[in-house]
Amino acid sequence: MKKVAVIAIGGNAIIQADEKGTLEEQFNNILGACDPIIDLIEEGYTVVLAHGNGPHVGNALLKVEAASKKIPPITLDICGAETQGSIGYMIQQCVYNRMRKRNISKNIATIVTQVVVDKNDSAFQNPTKPIGPFYTKERAEEILKEKDIDIIEDSGRGYRQVVASPEPLEIIEKDAIKTLVEQDFVVITIGGGGIPVIRENGNLKGIEAVIDKDRASALLAEEIDADYLILLTAVEQVAINYNTDNQRSLDRLSVSEAEEYLKAGQFPPGNMGPKIQSAIKFVKNSEGEAIITSIDKLQEAIKGKTGTRIIK
């Protein structure tokens, strides 16, 4: 049986902090991420790709605001759906072109994915999910005077808008995804953590939120019985005492060790925290393993040569 790997790519890897976010930049960034993923495909892994959309959703809201006198506003769930389609298209095309160049023939499909959340989730009273561009402190203060939104300082990188990030509970399209995985498709799904929906009298209804893509990826990996959940980030390995003289990189973490470090505050909520929490949840609820690493170390990490592996 082929090994199944769910790989989560951050939205900030597609639009990087020092870029304008042009289509040319985004295609180049995605192309740069393709080869390590295709290396795994070539080695026989079935790959499911998830991706973030934080910068894209923020930009979509800015466009809506700029055109507010000409077109009606749209909600966050619709922004999520639009960015799933646009980012999925770019990833799908880039992966296809790179595989073609390497003489690999494989079907690819992007699934627009709805994810059920609880409308009473406490996250709606405590927005924490950063979206959109980074602002200086001065610009953030100006925006707060103009708009009724929440803004926080984001990990020393600047100030960003934050929105509700409820816990993902159920992936509506999981059976379709699982069928494609069984047929050895490359599947692109859970874009931006999925489109947030609630159930009302059995019907689905969109709600204003952005789901954390790592948490949604962990749920997906669990539901399709994946062997690996791979959470890509800017660093090769997770570290404790980060950015201090006592910083120490971690090769391997048991679930209990990871939980202890979380309680001790080693993994901040706005940075490594959601990745560690997602890895713990997947490992606890499955027979698989979770790996946190950078895209350029993907192949080495899955072979156990680097990265941080979370195990039972």
Which residues are designated catalytic?
A: 11-12, 129, 213, 275
Amino acid code (one letter) for 177? I
Q: Give the separation between CA 101 and CA 42, rounded to whole angstroms.
A: 13
Instruction: Classify residue 101 as exposed, middle or buried by CB count within 10 Å of its CB (0-12, 13-18, 19+).
Output: exposed
3-class secondary structure, 165 = coil
* Partner residues linked to 204 by β-bridges: 199
According to DSSP, the β-strands at 248-249 and 239-240 are antiparallel
Helix, strand counts (H, E) of the chain = 10, 17
Query: 225 — phi, psi (to 5°)?
Result: 60, 45
According to DSSP, the β-strands at 228-232 and 4-9 are parallel
Of 183, 31, 30, 48, the residue nearest 111 (C-alpha):
48
Give the position of tokens 């059920």.
116
Tokens of 152: 């926080």
Give the position of tokens 């005077």.
145
C-alpha dihedral (280, 283, 286, 292), degrees to nearest 10: 110
Q: Give the separation between CA 104 and CA 45, rounded to whole angstroms.
A: 13
Helical residues (DSSP H) of the chain, grouped into ranges:
11-14, 23-42, 54-66, 76-101, 137-146, 174-182, 213-223, 255-263, 273-284, 298-302
Per the CB < 8 A criterion, the answer to whether 83 and 15 are in contact is no
